[in-house]
Amino acid sequence: MKKVATILIATLFAGISAVYAGEAAVGKGTVNKIDPAGASVNLSHEAIPAIKWPAMTMDIKVADKKLLSGVKPGQTVTFGLTKDPQAGYVISRIEAAK
């Protein structure tokens, strides 16, 4: 019983698997370029099975430009995606990966 609880807790704290309320998926990647004017970031991200995205390099819009102030090119980041009716998937949070 104790072993089961330990495995469960380890799974819960695995980090990247944590999807926040309202988020469609969580991803991990490396920041290539930040575009404050376009409110987007170019990322090389790992596969995101929750939304069937393979690993790729792409520009992704951020929900709020302020999110861009916390990251810089070359950084490994984790990010949350929410689905916007017009823009498709947008980054709702992004932070340096632990």
Q: Binder to Cu ion among 58, 87, 96, 97 (CB under 5 A)? A: 58
Of 11 and 47, nearer to Cu ion (C-beta) is: 47
> Contact letters (x/-) for Cu ion, 5-44, by CB under 5 A?
----------------------------------------
Strand ranges of the sheet holding 40-45, from the earlier edge strand across to the other edge: 56-61, 40-45, 25-35, 76-84, 88-96
The closest alpha carbon to 44, from 54, 34, 33, 58, belongs to 58
Task: Please report, as a single letter, which amino acid is at residue 54.
Answer: P
Task: Please report, as a single letter, which amino acid is at residue 98.
Answer: K
CB 51 to Cu ion: min, Å: 9
Residues that bind Cu ion (CB under 5 A): 53, 56, 58
